[in-house]
Amino acid sequence: MVYDFKEAARQTRLGIPLIYGVDAVHGHNNVVGATIFPHNIGLGATRDPDLVERIGRFTATEIIATGVRWNFAPCVAVPHDFRWGRTYEGYSQDTQLVAELGAAHVRGLQNANGDRESSYPLSILACPKHFVGDGGTTWGTGRSYDWIIDQWPAADHNWPIDQGITEIDEVTLRAKHLPPYIAAIEAGAKSIMVSFSSWGGLKMHANKYLLTDVLKREIGFDGFLVSDWMAIDQIDRDFYTCVVASINAGLDMVMVPFNFRRFVSTLIRAVEKGDVPLERIDDAVERILTVKYELGLFDEPSRNEHPISYIGAEAHRQVAREAVRKSLVLLKNENHTLPIARDVKKIVVAGQAADDIGLQCGGWTIEWMGKPGTITPGTTLLTAIKGAVSTDTTVDYDPDGRFSETDTVAEIGLVVLSESPYAEGTGDRADLSLPAADVALIERVRPCCRRLVVILFSGRPLIITEHLEKWDAFIAAWLPGTEGQGIADVLFGDFPFTGRLAYSWPKRMDQIPLKSMAESSDGPLFPFGFGLA
């Protein structure tokens, strides 16, 4: 499909090459069989920029194998409210850590070290997102847009915080949310995606001060700005107003998923009427053409020389496995529960997530929202556990934790919990308490084992305070991706726990957002940077 689009572009009058972009936010996650790395929240816990750069490079390798040369990543948001459904796309609540890891990801995607495979480049165009302040929106300020529902029914979402209003002053915006973009630009980023959110009374796509005065002129960004999905339509009920406002604000490329003819005719009319200066069009075109030229698209072969076998390559999966084990954060470990001896007589394992690749990967996996089930090749945690223990060890698995009362009590019980997959505003949740079904599952397993280990797959901290006392060990595994062996590597002591929280872990819902936690008299359940060895 991608090459057909590219060939069509070559056959146009000027033969200007097309640049095709994808949301490969944790590996080439739209492709069945690709290596799925941990989501950014897990990579933040590794605090390892070299690892993140290698992940970026291998992601680029797999993307290029499908003919794609542009990735809408990394997300360099600095989330402050865990109720936000995109929390897991942010590396951390800490601006400096986000800037460091985001820049590393850009270097990896764009192959800053100049690695080559034969004569073929291993470089794609990175696209840090979403400029700027998307992680700082206020709960309750999201809204739906009735005038675009006829084109995109999903616009009738009324998400509480995603795409909402960032209600902070400019000093805070610059200190908290701008540095990751400066770091990404210094690392070589030549495209940036603009945020759906609003600041200063304007939709970001219409904010000329931030897009042009600050980003392009003050900071000196000389690449191009691209809109988010159908985002300019949110500026105003009148589409002509949307086009004029967004282009004059500094938008260079517009993501029009449906009615592109309407956009083209509207922009031409705006230029002819003088509402959009021709100089603004020239500037946008020059920026886009320059980036395409620098990326080598004008000299790209008509067909890919990069083998499709690079998708899901073993070397890539080994790096993903390394990332999984480095991302795990041990939050509790009593009674010498961990590491587990390989020759323990019996282990009981419960929870659907223990043997479900879809739950292990989370959103943005094969489908936009992700979904449970065997959606792509990989190794589940249950498979990894069975492969790690001795031949004399019995591993009993029941997703519902309904083990027979006549069975021998196991030395170790493992309960694997997970959030249901979600992406963007569909994951906005007012209450992050542990679901009643998960609490009941743990209570069923607790009598069946001497020591209980709870492993949580989640895109954010959940409220576990009242239940934690009953657990002997607790591991935050985030959304680890396809390589479940990385968890077993640490469970059984082949590698130590090294992950540290990139987000403070709240005790209660009234400690969310982070400002409320800072004002709380008793502090978080686990502080930023916490992690047992």
Q: Which of 23, 81, 424, 472 is catalytic?
A: 424
First-to-last C-alpha distance (Å) of the chain: 48
Q: Is 252 a catalytic residue?
A: no
Q: How many CA atoms lie within 13 A of 43 on its CB side?
A: 35
Q: Which two tokens stand for residue 63?
A: 């993307």
Q: Given 3-state DSSP classes, what are the helix, strand and coil percentages for the chain, each rounded to the nearest 5?
A: 40, 15, 45
173/167 Cα distance (integer angstroms):
9
User: Alpha helices, DSSP H only, in 376-420?
Assistant: 381-388
- Strands 449-457 and 116-117, by their bridges, are unpaired
Residues whose CB falls within 8 Å of the CB of residue 99, separated by 6 or more in sequence, listed in order:
76, 179, 180, 182, 183, 184
460/87 Cα distance (integer angstroms):
6
Give the 3-state secondary structure of 121-152: ECCCECCCECECCHHHCCCCCCCCCHHHCCCC
Task: Return the exposure string of 327-349: e unless at least 16 CB atoms fall within 10 Å of the residue's CB, then b.
Answer: bbbbbbbeeebbbbeeebebbbb
Residues whose CB falls within 8 Å of the CB of residue 258, separated by 6 or more in sequence, listed in order:
151, 152, 230
Q: Which of 48, 89, 162, 228 is catalytic?
A: 228
* Cα three-residue angle 97-100-102, rounded to 5 degrees: 100
481/491 Cα distance (integer angstroms):
17
Give the length of the chain.
533
**Mind giving me the DSSP string for 310-369?**
GTT-HHHHHHHHHHHHHH-EEEEE-TT--SPPTT-SEEEEE-GGGG-HHHHH-SSBSBSS
Q: Is 424 a catalytic residue?
A: yes
Residues whose CB falls within 8 Å of the CB of residue 57, separated by 6 or more in sequence, listed in order:
108, 109, 111, 113, 115, 122
Contact of 280 with 288, CB cutoff 8 Å: no
Among residues 384, 370, 381, 464, the alpha carbon closest in space to that of 420 is found at 370
Q: Which two tokens stand for residue 244?
A: 């004029």
Q: Which element (helix H / strand E) includes 395?
A: strand 394-398
Residues labelled catalytic: 228, 424
